Amino acid sequence: MKKAILLCFLAGASTLLADGVSFTVDAIHQRWPWEAKIDIDFTITGESGKKYDANTSFFNGGTKLDVPAEALSGDLYALDPGQHRLTFDPSKASLGNEVLTRFSVAFGDVAETPLYMIVDLAKSKGQEGLVTYLTESELRSGAYGSVETNPVSGVSSIVWTGVTNDEAYATTKMVFRRVNPGTFTMGYGGARIGSAKIWPGGANDYGNEAQLTQPYYIAVFPTTQKQWELLAGSNNNYFTGEKRPVEQIKSNVTTAWEAIRGSDAVGGGCHWPDDGYSKSSSSWLGKLEDKTGLVCDLPTEAQWEFACRAGTTTVYNDGIARTLNDDPAFNNIASEIERLGRFSSNGGKTTENGTANVGSYRPNAWGIYDMHGNVFEACLDWSYPATTNRYDHCAVNPAGPATGSSHMGKGGASTSAITHATSGFRWSWSKGYQYGFRAVVFPEGVVPEVGEVYSEDGQN
């Protein structure tokens, strides 16, 4: 039988933080006897229009509890002033049925949650202005150009559209959008399993629940040729142009993968997922990591797709619900999808056009561009065996298989049909093949965790 977790709590305890912001704990309630989860109700008093992260610590008496990110759910990130609730699951914090007789919560210092991060690649390591953060209230002030609110139906958001008006943001600087943890249906809406194409809405249109427990920043554009050149010192692409995405990564190393993050040989020090977020210092991502002092890498497939969907559950990230069974070639909606990116059907297959300058098409609800079409993008995950769909299991921070011979690609390309560019579509690509990519950067203080690794018996 489960033991009750006895809570000792003084209602109304308040923590006054920087800039006049306060977090007040209103109530702590355990869901006993139904389950051991603990709900923490709290109120944020702060400036209207600003958002804050809940920087929490948990104690049993004077003992601080080690609480992993997956043990927390509910209201944690980018919170408006007002009433909120977060939930603590002791079973996911290795506490089991231990009785916590003096459980309490404390809130640490907090600042307004940055929505965008800008890295100036032209600046040196440690130089002032190398990394700049933009908050939502700063964007709404108009100081950084145009913004658009709620551009996608059904998703409440603000998009910095002015990022496309200054070419520096696609050449000498990199702009990243913050993505907060969440749970979503991964894979639904057109996938590729081995050589089999799964049409959206069909009987085999797989989807699974995936949970991401840590915040991250993802580049709003795929890495451009100028951005690559500033760190790698070379630029060899078929469709040349400073604001075009890299699509043929060449250097003095063996493969494009090694140029991006380092050798993926087992025991080589950069093998995902065994070596986690370790990278070669001479790789492009290694140099970006050294310059910023932050952990940088490729996104996992789950991180990429979560950012692509941006709160939508539809086949494409424009939020428009479509029934596609009667039109597997997508002919009837081609003109609508072509607003989202460059494809073979709107000029991408011709020599004179090819890839488009990044940011040429509509962004998604979180202000991220070019996630449908333009260039296939590399993910950290190794490809799954052709015999498994891998959309049948709820995973926490899914990390893909332990090893393989090819990696996962997402997003479609300028030479692709729109059928190959849905949010859930995946493609296996050889590590020596030339693809594009976009970088992920983890916020200061976040130690990224390698999540569930797929095993051959189908269990994570």
| Per-residue pLDDT reduced to its tens digit, 381-427 | 998 776 555 555 668 999 999 988 888 889 989 988 888 888 988 88
Whether residue 190 sits in one domain with residue 55: no
In a domain, residue 227? The reply is yes
Q: Which residues contact 334 (CB under 8 A, 6 or more apart)?
A: 345, 418
Closest by CA to 369, choosing from 159, 75, 157, 119, is 159
Whether residue 336 sits in one domain with residue 192: yes
What integer pLDDT is reported at residue 11 of this predicted model?
45
What integer pLDDT is reported at residue 460 of this predicted model?
45
Terminus-to-terminus CA distance in the chain, angstroms? 28
In a domain, residue 140? The reply is no
Choosing from 107, 130, 157, the residue where a domain stops is 107
In a domain, residue 153? The reply is no
Whether residue 186 sits in one domain with residue 39: no
What integer pLDDT is reported at residue 347 of this predicted model?
83
Domain span at 31: 14-107
Report the distance separating Cα 391 and Cα 25, nearest Å: 39
Choosing from 56, 77, 107, the residue where a domain stops is 107
Strand 208-212 to 395-396 pairing: parallel
| Phi, psi dihedral angles at 266 (to 5 degrees) | -60, 130
What integer pLDDT is reported at residue 7 of this predicted model?
45
What integer pLDDT is reported at residue 257 of this predicted model?
87
In a domain, residue 217? The reply is yes
Two tokens at 305?
Answer: 């797709």
**Residue-wise pLDDT tens digits, 234-281:** 777 888 899 999 988 755 556 788 889 998 888 888 999 999 999 999
In a domain, residue 66? The reply is yes
Token pair 């996938």 is at which residue? Answer: 191
Whether residue 325 sits in one domain with residue 417: yes
Report the distance separating Cα 158 and Cα 152, nearest Å: 10
Whether residue 328 sits in one domain with residue 199: yes
Whether residue 379 sits in one domain with residue 247: yes
In a domain, residue 82? The reply is yes
Whether residue 91 sits in one domain with residue 200: no
DSSP 299: P
In terms of Cβ atoms closer than 10 Å to its own Cβ (0-12, 13-18, 19+), residue 25 is: buried
Question: E strand or H helix at 225, and its extent?
Answer: helix 225-232
- ∠ CA 208-212-214, rounded to 5°: 175
Q: How many structural domains is the chain composed of? A: 2
What integer pLDDT is reported at residue 9 of this predicted model?
45
Q: Which residues contact 314 (CB under 8 A, 6 or more apart)?
A: 189, 320, 321, 322, 423
Which sign does the torsion angle of CA 421, 425, 431, 433 carry? negative
Max CA separation in the chain (angstroms): 71
Q: The pTM is what? A: 0.89
What integer pLDDT is reported at residue 404 of this predicted model?
86
User: Is the distance from CB of 216 to CB of 259 less than 8 angstroms?
Assistant: no
User: Is the distance from CB of 91 to CB of 40 less than 8 angstroms?
Assistant: no
Closest by CA to 374, choosing from 314, 319, 331, 435, is 435
In a domain, residue 69? The reply is yes
Choosing from 57, 85, 107, the residue where a domain stops is 107
Report the distance separating Cα 434 and Cα 430, nearest Å: 9
Whether residue 402 sits in one domain with residue 282: yes
What integer pLDDT is reported at residue 3 of this predicted model?
43
The CB density around residue 240, as the number of other CB atoms within 10 Å, is: 12
Whether residue 98 sits in one domain with residue 183: no
CATH number at residue 235: 3.90.1580.10
Whether residue 331 sits in one domain with residue 244: yes
Two tokens at 90?
Answer: 């002791």
- β-partners of residue 408 are 428
Whether residue 346 sits in one domain with residue 262: yes
pLDDT tens track of the chain, all 460 residues? 344 444 444 444 566 555 678 899 999 988 877 788 889 999 999 888 889 988 899 998 888 998 888 888 899 998 999 999 999 988 888 886 666 778 889 888 777 899 999 999 999 999 999 999 999 999 999 999 999 999 999 999 999 999 999 999 999 999 999 999 999 998 877 665 555 566 565 556 667 889 999 999 999 999 999 999 999 987 778 888 999 999 887 555 567 888 899 988 888 889 999 999 999 999 999 999 999 999 999 999 999 999 999 999 988 999 998 766 656 667 778 889 999 999 988 887 665 678 999 999 999 999 999 999 999 999 999 987 765 555 556 689 999 999 888 888 899 899 888 888 889 888 887 765 668 999 999 998 888 999 999 876 544 4
Whether residue 258 sits in one domain with residue 383: yes
In a domain, residue 147? The reply is no
What integer pLDDT is reported at residue 378 of this predicted model?
93
Report the distance separating Cα 169 and Cα 172, nearest Å: 7
What integer pLDDT is reported at residue 42 of this predicted model?
94
